[in-house]
Amino acid sequence: YLALRHDGALFVSGETERFVAWDDLEDVSWDARTDALLFVGHYGEAVPLVARFADVTNEELARRVRAVRRRAVHGLLPSRSKESREA
């Protein structure tokens, strides 16, 4: 699965876990040749994620991840819980 969290994106597949913090990313894009999501860092380095997800193409998923990243870095994601709103 791919979890889009307040602090970044977490990909879990079996024993494998990869986490990328939103602050470490410049962009998220899609590579049509490999059908991979590309998590692009501030210095142009790209971390590819080659996986398929139900009910969404990787091209569309890249757009969605990019939108969540943009909201997260600007503090526009909704609060996680009642406790975090009270803090």
Q: For the residues 29-52, what does the mean pLDDT come to?
A: 96
Q: Kindly report the pTM of this predicted structure.
A: 0.85
With tokens 């996986």, the residue in question is 51
List pLDDT tens digits, range 4-33.
999 999 999 999 999 999 999 999 999 999
DSSP-assigned letter for residue 78 = P
Neighbours of 20 (CB within 10 A): 20
Q: What percent of the chain has pLDDT over 90?
A: 89
Is 82 a residue whose pLDDT tops 60? Answer: no
Distance of CA 33 to the CA centre of its chain: 20
Beta bridge partners of 4: 9
Residue 81 confidence (pLDDT): 65
Strands 8-13 and 16-21: antiparallel
